[in-house]
Structures are given as C-alpha cells and as structure tokens.
Structure 1
Amino acid sequence: MSTNIDRNTASTGRSNAGSAELFRRGQRVITGGNARLSVFQRPHPIYITNGTGVNIVDADGNTYLDFLNNFTALIHGHSFRPVLDRLHHQLELGISFSGPTKLEVEFAELLCRRVPYFDQIRFMNSGTEAVMYTIKAARALTGKLKIAKLEGAFHGGYDPLEVSLDSAPANWGPRLAPNAVPYCAGIPEWHTTDTVVLPFNELIATRQILEGNKDKLAAVIIDVLPQRAGLVPIDRSYLAFLREFTARHGIVLISDEVMSFRLSYRGAINRFGFEADLCAFAKIIGGGLPIGAVGGMPQFMLAFDPTNGKPLVPQSGTFSANPMSMAAGIAALEALSEQSFQRLDDLGEYACSSLTEMFRQERLPYSVTGMGSMFRIHLRHEAPKDYREAYAAPEQQEKMGMLIRALQEKGVIVSPTCQLCLSTPMLTDHIDEMVTSVREAARMVEAREPRRAS
C-alpha cells in the first residue's frame, strides 16, 4: 500500500524559535511553562498549533508524524471529519446544560450494546476520575479500605494508586514481595499501608500476598497491558486466578481500560476473555474531548444510584456527560467497526515486526513490547517481562531522552517512555517512515556515549 505523505521530512535544521518564545512567555504565567508534566521536556516542549490526520504542526510550522495521538486518545487521528461535523452541529444546540441530555442516554446505550458485560454506565471527565470512583465504589460496597495493584502500573493521579508507580532499586524491596512506595511528596503515609503491591504475572507470590490481606481488601485493580510497567500483556492464567480469587472472597475486581479499551471493539475485557466487576475507561471514547466512564453490572453500579436516597458514592461534576463530549464520543465510536480494530491490529503487528527486524539487522540492543495498536521501544536486547525489567536507570533515561529528541528532530512524535500508538488514518507507509526514523535516530544515539549527569 502506498500513499503520498504530505509533510516536512527534513531531518535537520528545524527551527524551534516559536516554541522557545511560547515557553518563555508560559513560564511567566504557568508554573513550569506548560500545564501537563507528561509533555514537558528540556530545553522546552514543542507547542502545537494544529493537526490533520496523522500529522501535527508546531508553532514554527514544522510538521510531525504523530505516533502519540494525545497519549492514545485520538484513535482517529486529528480533525476527524465525523467528529468535527457532530461537534459543529452540537455547538449550535448548546455546549453544556444544568440537566441531562438525550445524548448521554444514547451514548450509554451504544456502549452497553458494544460491551455486553456493561449493564450500566456513569460518565466523568477523565480517566483519573473514573478510576477514583471505581475505588470509592469498591470501598463503599465492601466496607473495607485496602486495595491491591500491580507494581509499576499507572492508574492516574489518585493518591492510593500512585503507590509504587515509579519505585526504584533502592526502595522497591524483594521482587516477589514489593514494597509500597509513595510516588511523591504529600501522599499520606497510610496509603502505603492500605495499598497492597502485587508482583506482575507472579501467580504464586501474588496468591500469598492476597491470602494475607483478603479480609481487608476492597478491590484489586488491574491493567491488562500496563504501559508504565513495560506494556507487557498480563498472563491469562494470572488473570484467571485474580478473577477466581476476588470472586471467592468478595473483593471487587476492577479493570482499568483507560488506555487498553482500544485493544478491541469491545475493550480489553473482551480480548482477554474475562469480566471485571467494574471497568474504568476513557480516552478513545471521547473522540478527542475530555471524558471518563465507569461501567459494570447493576449490583456494583448500585453504589452510584441516587433514586432511593443518597447514594453510597455521590458522583457528579459540572461537565460530566456534557453534550460536546457525548457527541464527539458517539461519532468516534460509530466510526470504529470490528474491521477497524482488525486493521489496527494488523498494522501494529507490522510495526512491531518491522522494528524488531530492523534492530536485528542494525545489531541494536533494543526490543519492542505491546499489543494491538500500542507498542513500546526498550533500550535492552531482551524484551522486559515486568516493571523491574522495564525500569530505566538514570543512564538509560538519558539515552532514551536522546533517542526521543532525535526522533522529534526527524519529525516523529512518541511518548516520554518511547511508547507509540496507531490511528485509523495510518498506512504502512507511515510505519515504514517511522521505522526509518528510529533507525537513523538510534544510529545517532549509539554513535556517542550518553552525557553523564554532573
């Protein structure tokens, strides 16, 4: 398959004066110069002005091939016409109201049809918010406080789930009995007591840890493809054990599909063949607008039900289920058929195999992990199996930063962990161009030793 890729492919001489000036201005009025840590970089981020399809353009007019897609949220890429048309129509009707709309009913019906296990939905405004409410619901329903999570897994900016998000060799403890390590200053000490950390895919050790906490656990939260833990798929026998153990002991099993909902037409739950008690999802269902949602069966969603008085977990929000996000989400999902996901799977397999073969030919000490339309490059010969193997020491972080900056200079955008994701307008030509850029960037990085921190 071939296509004309209309973009600036120059690998050198990109001016960043416009972004540098915006960063200078931003530092005066925004702490750190921009509003998201995830996009901050030194000496300054690139500031984006517009995007179309697979491309984004920065403040200096440089065009980039976008393999980040706003951290996996834009499954249709940029300026997707069905979403734009739906938003333009809704703008004329109203942006938000102090009352429910027909759109939220229609969108919930669409989601429940798509994922048979979803009987009911509640809408929020972000993935963090959705995950937070699943935890609150689990605690309210069980009357217990402890939660268990996988070591290194990211579940948004909620204190209990930031425990052991980026633990390091100096503090992470034994491999089969990980320490609970606070992520940052200000996380209360009790979270390291109430959050139980599980060794990913280590069934016997996980069983022992859960057995010791089963009477106090409200929930076990999982991500079947945890990005920060290496983008390594969960082992199906490990998953089956977690499902059986939680059901037997009255512990709520939560599936965080904020990212992994894009793994199939019916979400990660369907692809991995299991049913969680509650599911938190976001990103692709918003069509590019802010959104979050919780789905599940009535006995678990009951925690949010206000029809018989004050609910166990009051959940509201000025912009929850706002008509703009509902309209964009409906348009985005209606355009995602089962064939769309199969095509993304095929393209993802092509990307991973192409990168792997290129690394072999170039004798580069790199590897690839991932599934479906998401994959990640690691600076190690053997693909990691868990968070600890995926962990990057300071020297590796510096080297990865060099690789990411070199890719940016060549016109390819990836995440700060070198994760990439696909969008529906992408073609094999775009994959080939990305692989070529990775080859050239890696050659540059390998040709010089990383600068040591002073």
Structure 2
Amino acid sequence: MFTDKVQGLGWPAVRAHSAHLFHRGNHVFPAGLTRSTVEKDPIPIYLARGEGAYVWDEDDNRLLDLNNNFTTLIHGHGFEPVIDVVERVLKTGTCFANPTEHEIALAELLVSRIPAIDRVRFVNSGTEAVMFAVKAARAYTRRSTIVRFTGAYHGAYDWAEAGQGGTVTDTGRPKLGYPGAPPAVADNVIVLDFNDAAGIEQAIVPRAGDIAAILIDPTPSRAGLLHPTPEFVAAVSAVALKYDILLIADEVLNLRQGFAGASARYGLEPDLITVGKIIGGGFPIGAIGGRADVMAVFGVDDKTPLVSQGGTFSANPVSMVAGKAAMDALTVEAFDRLERLGDRVRTGLTEAALKRNAPFSVSGVASLFRVHPRKAAPVNSSSATMTPAEAVTMRALSRHFLASGILLPFGAAACLSTPMTDADVDTVIDTFDDFLEKNSHMAWEEQQ
C-alpha cells in the first residue's frame, strides 16, 4: 500500500492520515499538491486546524507554528477580532462588482501608517502587486528595463522572477523563470548584487535611459534575511534620483518588520511599495501604493488610465474587513513586543551554537529569523545557498524540531506571531540546544 511505502521511507505512523491524503492528492494534482512551495519530507503534513500559535495535523498532533503560512499570519490562527468581523460581513455579501466602504477603511489605515503610500490599489496577491507596480513604473517613465537584486523573491511575474536565483546564462543574461519564457524578458532585466554599493551606478549607467525602476526587497528572505547596509541604501537612492528611475520596495513579506514597515526602518524612500500577507488578516490580498503622481497611471478623474488594473476579487469585503481588524491590532506596542521576542530567540539560538562551537548562525530582524548551517551568517545571496551537506544538516534540524512538536521551515524564514509567549520562544531555543547536544558527535569542524 501507498501508506506502507511512505512509512518505509521514514514517515512515522503517527501521521498516517497525512499519507492517506497525499495518496488522494496524487490522483488530482501534479506531484500531489497545488502549491510547489509546500514542504515535503518525504510527503507534506496535512493540517486540520489552528489556534493561536499552534496547529493540529490530521492525526491530531499539536505543533508550534513557526511558518504561519509563509509569514502571513502575524496574529497566529483563529484571531478573534478577524473572526468576528468576517462572520458579520459574510452575512452581507462576500464580493460585489461595486466598491464598498470597507476598502476605503483599510486604504485609509495604510495611507496613514506607511510613509511611502499616498494612494493605494488592492489586488489579490503579492505577485499581482509586484506585477502592477512594475507596469506602473513603466507607464510613468515610458521605459522598459527593471533592475532587481539576486536572492530576492518577487513573485511569479516574468520580469520579476528573471534572474531570481542570481544565475545567468553563458551569455551573461539573466536566467528566466521557466523553459519557454520569452527570451526578450531577459533583455529588460538587470540583476545586481544586494549590498554592492560601489557597483550599482557603474552597472546602471550604460542603460540608465531605459531603466524604469529598481525593484528591491529591503531584507530579502531567500538571500538569508540580509540587512541592507546604510551605504547600499544611500547608493540605490542616489542612483535612482540621479537618473530619474523609480524605486519599488517589495514589502509583501517584510511589512511585518514594524509599524511603518521595512523601508522606513532602513531609511529607504520608495516611489512605489508593494504590500500583502499581514494586511489581509489571513485572507488573499495584495496592494500597490506610492506617490500620488505615480499612482495616477491607474486613473485620473474620468480619463482612460495608462494602466488598467482590475480583478474580480480585488478589494472584496472579506479581505478588507479581515485586514483592517488585523492591522488595527498591530499597534506600536504589539510590534515592540514581537521584536523583543525576536531578539530573544535570535540571541538564544546564537548562544546555543557558540556554547557548543557548532557551525550554525542566525540572521533576521523583528519577528523574523533564519538558522544557517554555517559559522558565519550570509553576507550576500550566494553565501545563503546551502551546499548538499548543509542541506542534509538542515533537514535533520527540521526533523528534530518536528519530532519535538515544532514546525520549523526548511530553507525559509521562520517567524513569530503575537500569541506566542516567552515560554514558546524558550521551547524553540531548548529544542535547538537539544539538537546540538544529541548531534555533538558530528565533526562540526569539518562542516565549517
């Protein structure tokens, strides 16, 4: 039987129902799943419910959730203020062809809170937000080329994912996201190294007249949650201003860094900003915001817009009220508490590794953290890429956390949520220390 085969690969019998569901999924989905980002080891864990900082799988195993749907659920699961407003709005209608007051309320909150936003448009995902921000920049500047940085994930739009891994073809062009993508996409994307303050202007000058925007994630997660240096932020800003290039800050993930987001934290002043995840309260959402004159490409009075942007479910009442409730609860005090917990977990994990002279380091900021299987934390995207041996180590770490009742993302950012406690954080630290103790026989020195 399929279940027996999976258990033979090391899948525990305590998750037999997940094995059964994956068997069913393989009859209806390519590779058994409908999202390629879902982790499998060797199959996925199917979840039945969530409450606060915890989830329960289909076999009723309780797990501390450090994934939170890829950093989306900043309030964890089943957040009562969101449940209350969604229950009320469900009875009045879930989506309309006409606008509602709910979209104005959430937009007013974003405009009042995020310095870069004068005007905003809602979409249904982060990918859509980046796509329309790129289109807006092109329409406003009448230019085509986009500059992006290695190691950052900006969704599935062709021009946003070209060169995503930092790899280039043998001709020096950015590698496209999939076979058959139009080769011309690579002609309009320039890929640069994050934090290379000295090299950015030199790389941009030859094509400055055709560059519409610099697309930047202030703290790229897939590159190891790198922090931008002040020199890099200053160089990017100066080059953009000098050559009339727009700055697009992708904060779909990193808005959770603080009350006003990541750009404000690092002194970046973007012309456009994309946000999502936490602004939807657990429901599908994305948004493009920015300067009023740039956002005018989406429409001015009754004139035909330069960029037509719609979406059947954009600004639907459910996402709007859920997002407003979630964001209202994210006060300055709530962010300060999350940052304190984040500092606690990063410090505790780092001290555990140092105590045992183990080849691990920790990066992150605010409520985000990543464990790296090497002594020094990444300084660029290439140093965030795991070797095969390091991937084996990280897989062992993830399995140890799972056996201890914790979902630790593999090769992605882990995150905290507001219902987490100091005790939860201590459990994470103790579990990591336990892993190091039980694996102290490993030749750490050889893996440095």
Query: TM class, shorter-chain normalised?
Result: over 0.9
**Whole-Å Cα distance in 2 between the matches of residues 325 and 334 of structure 1?**
14
Using the TM superposition, give the Cα deviation of residue 444 of structure 1 relative to its aligned residue in structure 2, in angstroms.
5.1
Q: Cα deviation per residue 1:55-85 (whole Å; 9 max; x = unaligned)?
A: 0000111110001111110000000000000
3-state SS of the aligned residue for 2:199?
Answer: helix
Counterpart of 2:8?
Answer: none
Call closer, same or farther: CA 1:320–1:403 in 2, change over 3 Å.
same
Structure 1 unaligned runs (5+)?
1-11
Match of 2:208?
Answer: 214
Q: 1:230 & 1:424 partners in 2: Cα distance?
A: 23
1:229-378 superposed matches below 5 A: 229-305=223-299, 307-378=301-372
Question: How much identity, in percent, do the aligned residues show?
Answer: 39
Task: Name the CA distance, whole Å, in 2 between partners of 1:447 and 1:22.
Answer: 37
> 1:39 aligns to what SS in structure 2?
coil
- Cα distance between partner residues in 2 of 1:397 and 1:187: 29
Q: CA deviation at 1:401?
A: 2.2
Rounded Cα–Cα distance in structure 1 between residues aligned with 2:187 and 2:80: 49
**Aligned residue in 2 for 1:6:** none
Q: Which amino acid aligns with 1:121?
A: V
2: CA distance, partners of 1:195 / 1:409: 43
Per the alignment, do residues 394 and 160 of structure 1 end up closer, same or farther by CA in structure 2, a change over 3 Å counting?
Answer: farther
Other-structure match for 2:190: 196
Counterpart contact for 2:115–2:264, Cα < 8 Å: no
Contact 1:254 1:280 in 2 (8 A): yes
CA RMSD of aligned residues (A): 2.0
- Where 1:307 maps in the other structure, the secondary structure is coil
> Which residue number in structure 1 is paired with residue 432 of structure 2?
438
Which of 382, 402, 414 does residue 408 from structure 1 map onto? 402
Q: Name 1:29's counterpart in structure 2.
A: 28
Please, which moves more after superposition, 50-59 or 362-371? 362-371
Aligned length: 434
Match of 1:130 in 2: 129
Deviation for aligned residue 1:186:
2.9
Contact 2:116 2:272 in 1 (8 A): no
Structure 2 distance, partners of 1:93, 1:40, is 37
- Partner Cα separation in structure 2 for residue 418 and residue 155 of structure 1: 14
> Is the contact made by 1:403 and 1:445 (CA closer than 8 Å) also made in structure 2?
no
Which residue of the partner structure matches residue 5 of structure 2? none
Work out the CA distance in 2 between the residues paired with 1:418 and 1:167.
17
Q: Distance in 1 between matches of 2:413 and 2:39?
A: 16
Q: Alignment partner of 1:214: what SS?
A: helix
CA contact (8 A) 1:19 1:59 kept: yes
> Does residue 81 of structure 1 match 2:80?
yes
Distance 1:391 1:179, change over 3 A: farther
- Go from structure 1 to structure 2 and tell me whether the alpha carbon gap of 1:35 and 1:447 turns closer, same or farther (over 3 Å shift): farther
Give the Cα–Cα distance (whole angstroms) in 2 for the partners of residues 166 and 443 of structure 1: 34
Is the CA contact 2:136–2:294 (under 8 Å) kept in the aligned structure 1? yes
Range 303-312 or range 137-146, more displaced: 303-312
1:449 deviates by 8.9
> What's 1:8 paired with?
none
User: Which stretch shows the higher mean deviation, 141-150 or 234-243?
Assistant: 234-243
Please tell me whether the aligned partners of residues 127 and 281 of structure 1 are also in contact (alpha carbons under 8 angstroms): yes
Q: For 2:392, what is the secondary structure of its paired residue?
A: helix
* In 2, Cα distance between equivalents of 1:190 and 1:35: 29
| Secondary structure of the structure 2 residue equivalent to 1:215 | helix
In terms of mean alpha carbon deviation, does 233-242 or 317-326 score higher?
233-242
Distance 1:329 1:128 in 2: 18
* Match of residue 100 from structure 1: 99
Q: 2: CA distance between counterparts of 1:216 and 1:172? A: 22
